[in-house]
Amino acid sequence: DIQMTQSPSYLSASVGDRVTITCRASQSVRTYVSWFQQIPGRAPKLLIYAASSLRSGVPSRFIGDGSETEFTLSISSLQPEDFATYYCQQSYSTPYTFGQGTKVDIK
Amino acid sequence: QVQLVESGGGVVQPEGSLRLSCAASGFMFRTYAMHWVRQAPGKGLEWVAVIVYDGSQKYYGDSVKGRFTVSRDNSKKTLYLEMNKLRVEDTAVYYCVKEERRGSHYYFDEWGQGTLVTVSS
């Protein structure tokens, strides 16, 4: 199985900050990576697919990058509604594994 | 708009069985692969199973293989998850998820609200 390892597991930031979350795959997944945002008590929401494609309707401050084994999700200017947990996921091969999550909290 | 509504969750004893349903609307259900993803309380996301658009192929995560069965009824626009020999560690919110395809890429674009399964004696 392909392991997806996110870092950090937790980060504390202020409104307006730029933050970056990293996701490393245990083997190449080309660009078959998605990023999801989850607010407590709600279902996950797709932000980015194919490593860098922004889903329609998602604010442009969310930026995905990377290929093969290293991927990043950046938020260019953190907004109050962005405080949530973020997950990466590979869809290169089954099982479609997720990272363990990164919780973004208010400093 | 796309709607995925799960049902069938509840409390069940270890070794018991439960069947989850997911009613789909707002898209051509019969042309999309569908997945189940679960989340244990306070934990991360775990992919459970996928079924292709016509039900001809199914794949499962290692932790549920041999115990869970995914199926679909395209005439009813409904996805199912039959869960047998349930374990305490199967306790989770179960999400029904639609797979979208763009070129060679596929991704999880729509999620239901989830249904909670609690396995406890």
With 90 as the cut, is the pLDDT of residue A68 above it?
yes
With CB atoms and an 8 Å threshold, state whether B105 touches A31: yes
Determine the residue type at A81: E
Mean residue pLDDT of chain B comes to: 97
Residues of A in contact with B35 (CB under 8 A): 96
Say how far apart CA B79 and CA B6 lie, in whole Å.
9
Closest by Cβ to B44, choosing from A31, A46, A101: A101
The pLDDT value recorded for residue A107 is: 85
Average pLDDT rounded to a whole number, residues B99-109: 92
Average pLDDT value for chain A? 97
Question: Is pLDDT of B103 > 90?
Answer: no
- Are the CB atoms for A78 and A17 separated by under 8 Å? yes
Bigger pLDDT: A106 or B87?
B87
**Kind of pairing, strands A4-7 and B115-119?**
unpaired
Q: Taking 90 as the threshold, does the pLDDT of residue B93 lie above it? A: yes
- Alpha-carbon distance of A35 to A87, in angstroms, equals 6
Which residue of chain B comes nearest to A33, CA vs CA? B107
**pLDDT score of A106 more than 90:** no
Q: What's the CA gap between A72 and B97, in Å, rounded?
A: 24
Task: Tell whether the model's pLDDT for residue A75 goes beyond 90.
Answer: yes
Q: Are B110 and B97 in contact (CB under 8 A)?
A: yes
Give residue ranges of B with CB < 8 Å to any A CB. 35, 44-47, 50, 59, 61-62, 95, 100, 102, 105-109, 111-114
Q: What 3-state DSSP class applies to B88? A: helix
CB atoms within 10 A of CB A54: 16
CB A61, CB A75: distance < 8 Å: yes
**For testing the chain B interface, which of A55, A67, A96 should be mutated: the one with the most B CBs within 10 Å?**
A96
Give the pLDDT score at B104. 87
C-alpha distance from A10 to closest chain B C-alpha (Å): 13
Asked if B16 contacts B121 with a C-beta cutoff of 8 angstroms, the reply is no
pLDDT tens, position by position, B30-56: 999 999 999 999 999 999 999 999 999
What pLDDT sits at residue A66?
A: 98
Considering only CA atoms, give the Rg of chain B. 14
CB contact under 8 A, B47 and A46: no
Contact B107 A49 (CB under 8 A): yes
Whether residue B107 and residue A44 make contact (CB cut-off 8 A), yes or no, is no
Report the pLDDT value the prediction gives residue A36, as an integer from 0 to 100.
98
CA B62 to chain centre: 15
For the CA atoms of chain A, what is the radius of gyration?
13
Yes or no, beta carbons of A100 and B44 under 8 Å apart: yes
A13-50 per-position pLDDT tens digit = 999 999 999 999 999 999 999 999 999 999 999 999 99
